[in-house]
Each structure stands twice: as C-alpha cells, then as structure tokens.
Amino acid sequence: MFWLQDIKILTSAESKHSGLKGFCSRNIVIILGFSCVLAVIALITVGLTQNKPLPENVKYGIVLDAGSSHTTLYIYKWPAEKENDTGVVNQIDECKVKGPGISSYAQQTNNLGIYLTACMERAREVIPTSQHFETPVYLGATAGMRLLRLEDKKLADNVLNVVTNVLNRYPFDFKGARIITGTEEGAYGWITINYLLGKFTKKLRWFNLRQNENESQETYGALDLGGASTQITFVPQNQTIESPQNALYFRLYGKDYSVYTHSFLCYGKDQALLKKIAKNIQATNGTIQDPCFNPGYMRVMNKSDIYKSPCTRDFQETLKFPQLQIHGTGDFEKCQQSIIKLFDTSMCSYSHCAFNNVFLPQLQGQFGAFSAYYYVMKFLNLTSTEHLSQGNIIDKITNFCSQPWKELKMQFGDVKEKYLSEYCFSGTYIISLLQKGYHFTPDSWKNIHFMGQIQNTDVGWTLGYMLNLTNMIPAEQPMSAPLPHSTYIFLMVFFSLILTAVVIIGLIIFHKPSLCWKDMV
C-alpha cells in the first residue's frame, strides 16, 4: 500500500515539474522572440530614418547669349553643396529667341520686349515657382554689340537699358545685361569644353578607387567662331605668354591654370564675308565675279549695307553705283586666295604670331572647334566620327563650291537661301582661318575636333560663364541626416548586439534545454 502511495506522490510531482518546465519554456521562447523582433524593427527603423533620401537641394541659373545674329537662352541647374568651390552645373533646357541679334534692334528697341517674351516664359515653366526669386539671370552680349558700341555708344547703351527693363519684369533675380569682352568669351568657351570633358577633375580607378596620378589631364584648346568675331584659347605648356593682355589665370577645382586667349573682332564669318566683298568692290563697275559663291548664284547688295559695319570702313570708297551685283563662279582655290588677303602676316613683333601682329604661342594639344565651326562643317557632312584629313576636307569643300546653284537649291530646298548661298564661303573661310591664320598643319589637323554638344550640353561660352559665376555664390552647408553620425553608429551597434545575444541564447536553449532546469530537479 505504501509503495503505491509513494508512486502516486512521485507521479504527481513529476507532472507538476513537467508543467512548470513547459510553462517556463514557453515564456522564455516568447521573451526571446519578442526581443528578436524588437531588435530587428529597431535596426530597420534607425537605418531607414538615417538613410532616407534628402530633399533635392539645387539652384538654377539663366544665361542669355546675345550674339551678333541671334539670341539663345540657356537654363542651368547645380547642387547647392558645391565641389571644390565650383558648382557642378548641368544644362537642362535651351530656347532660341526668334529673330536676329539684339544689336539689330538699335533703332527699334520697343520690340525687344516681345522679342524676349517667349523664351522668358519658357524659363518660368521649367524652373519651379518656389525657386524663381532666387534664380539669377545674366545676359551677355558678344561681338554684335561690341561693333554697335564702336559705331555708336549711346545706341548700344540704350539697347542694354531696354533689355534690362524688360528682364526686370520677370520674377527672377536679374543680375544685369552687359557686353562681355572677346577675352571673356574665349576663356569661358575654354572652361565649358574642359568642364564637359572632365578635364578639371581627376578620374578614379575602378578597382582601388584611388586617383590615377599618371593619367593625363591635359586640357583642350577652344576654337570659337561667331558671326562677328572668332576666339582661340588654350594652355601653352612651357611657353611664355609674351603679350600680357592675352594671359588669363583661373583657379578651378583646386588647380591653377595659365591660359592664352585672343579674340579677333571682325573675323567672324559674317563680317569676314563683308570685308572680302568690300575689298573686292574696288576698281569694279558694280559687278563682281565671286569664286566664293556657287556657279549660277546671283546676289544684289546695297552699298550702304556693305559699309555700315565698322569692320569694312577701312575699305570704304566713293562709289558711283548704289548697288553691287555678285555673280558666283564656285572656285575653292580662288576663293581661298581672296580670303587669305584678309590676314595680314607681313610683320610680327613676337617670337610667333597668328596674323595682324597678334602673338600666338606654338599650338599644343587637342582643340575643340564649336559654334559656327561645327554648324558649317556639320552641314557639309565633315563632322563624322571618322577623322578626316585636311586634304579630304579641302576636296569635299572644293566639290561643294563647284556644284551649280540650281542643283544645290533642289538638293537643299528647305534651307534658307542666305545660309545655303554662304556655305561655300564659310567652309573655305574655316579652312583658311585654321590653316593660314592659326597655322594648323596637315599633321596637327588631326587634333581639331568639331563639337556641337558634349553630354547633352551645348558647347559655348555660356556654361563657362555660369561656372565662373557659381564661384561667387556662397556654398551652403549640406542638408544633415536626422541623427548625428556617432549616435547612428551607437544605436546600430547596440541593437545588433541585442539581436546577436538573443540568437545565441535561443540556440543554446534549443540544443541544451537541461541547462535551464538543473537547479529545479
């Protein structure tokens, strides 16, 4: 009887012990699971909070390029946090103003308001309304206005005053309209090319993410051709810039640059054509046979239109006829001979000159040729990726010039007659300027690259202008993350340790549950 009673007592004790063990096991599992879930949630929350995308902190800028033949508005965008004191600027839009350059409105300035309206309204749409009042607007006038200022300073000032009044009506931060110098135009074009080509910053190696010190970062030279002027700009290595007026100094992305630049006013393609015609008028009876126009082409020009430019006054004569008739003969060699006479190479006061006694260092490195260089050569189909030799280009322009005008009109019926008729001259002028004016040889010709855009951004002086101006805008502090870095690291480590501890304890209990009950037996 007694042993049966002892068995009952033992069985009852074991049952109670088993129930207690199960109850404690469930509680431990629940606590560990709850702790694990909390630690995971905490880690995810801290990580997402700290690394959520920050609001885009950007600035906008507008530059109007008021050239001799047209005006173009460019809209740029860059981060408020700048890299090495120079903003990382990208072109996001452009708008070509309908009509000629602003200098053509000297006698009808009342039309300038309508002239600029469409593109300024476009800028309103592109730039967020909240950014309008802090978006700077700059207008830079180039060689067309330089010539107008030479001709009549009051007229030029009046045009700029009217433009200023027009642009002040818009809700942007208008910074002013001014005539930029030829030196500035050349220098800013140089900045644009090298910025877009990544020449101002060191490239990184993919594998070790270190700067490759041996990688060449030589800058490109810049060749700019407009309607009224042309510029050449480059960094001469180990050469002294003998004429101080042609030397500029820049500090961009932490590095100093000594740059040579010169602007030849009256040597843009439009003014050069007027100079050539004015020179050829002498000793004629009002009709000239011009090899720079296609055979069969005929143009009538008023004497006043030829001599109204300051660029042609040196050739002005008292002529008995009010109009001039031009008949094209389409001969490249004779055309080039007449163009070369525009470059005076009879004297040089320096060790090396371009023309007109202007100092030019020995050419070095690669050159980007843009603006009219590109547009003319593109039309003539001479900008292909396969680099053409100087001889190949001359052959193609020779063939184009010899093509009869009637055939040309049938082939390019959608091109305005004025532009189409001048491509023979423009192509020949480009060859002559590079060859005879700047002394590019057949060997160095391969270093010239005709460029229209780089990385979806137009090549020209305006982007360089904007880059330089962003240096004068104080850099803002980067928008900070929600948590200080030290707090973020502490919380991540703390919750990671909790999660690790919970996992280790859970594994121990799972594999050796007896460790939890040895004191209860």
Q: Do the Cβ atoms of 260 and 241 come closer than 8 Å?
A: yes
Which candidate in 185, 215, 242, 317 is catalytic? Answer: 185
332, two tokens: 């490249």
Give CA–CA dist 146/140, Å, rounded. 11
CA 163 to each of CA 266, 461, 465: distance values in angstroms, whole numbers, following the listed order: 24, 20, 19
Q: Do the Cβ atoms of 328 and 298 come closer than 8 Å?
A: yes
CA neighbor of 384 nearest in space, from 396, 398, 366, 400 = 396
φ and ψ at residue 12, rounded to 5 degrees: -65, -40
CA 469 to each of CA 44, 95, 191, 222, 521: distance values in angstroms, whole numbers, following the listed order: 43, 21, 12, 20, 83
- DSSP for residue 517: T
Q: Do the Cβ atoms of 241 and 197 come closer than 8 Å?
A: no
What would the 3-class secondary structure string for 281-320 be?
HCCCCCEEEECCCCCCCEEEEEHHHHHCCHHHHHHCCCCC
CA neighbor of 454 nearest in space, from 68, 91, 211 = 91
φ and ψ at residue 25, rounded to 5 degrees: -60, -45
What would the 3-class secondary structure string for 253-284 be?
CCEEEEEEEEEEECCCHHHHHHHHHHHHHCCC
Query: Residue 356: which residues within 8 A CB-CB, separation 6 or more?
Result: 264, 343, 344
- Please, where are the H alpha helices in 178-267? 182-196
Give CA–CA dist 145/228, Å, rounded. 10
387, two tokens: 């680099």
Query: What are the b/e assignments for 191-211, b being 16+ CB within 10 Å?
Result: bbbbbbbebbbeeeeeeeeee
3-state DSSP call for residue 374? Answer: helix
- Label the pairing between strands 221-225 and 229-234: antiparallel
CA neighbor of 82 nearest in space, from 256, 257, 253 = 253
Catalytic residue check, 185 = yes
Query: Residue 85: which residues within 8 A CB-CB, separation 6 or more?
Result: 254, 471, 475
Strand-pairing partners, residue 222, are 233, 368
Give CA–CA dist 156/105, Å, rounded. 10
- Catalytic positions: 185
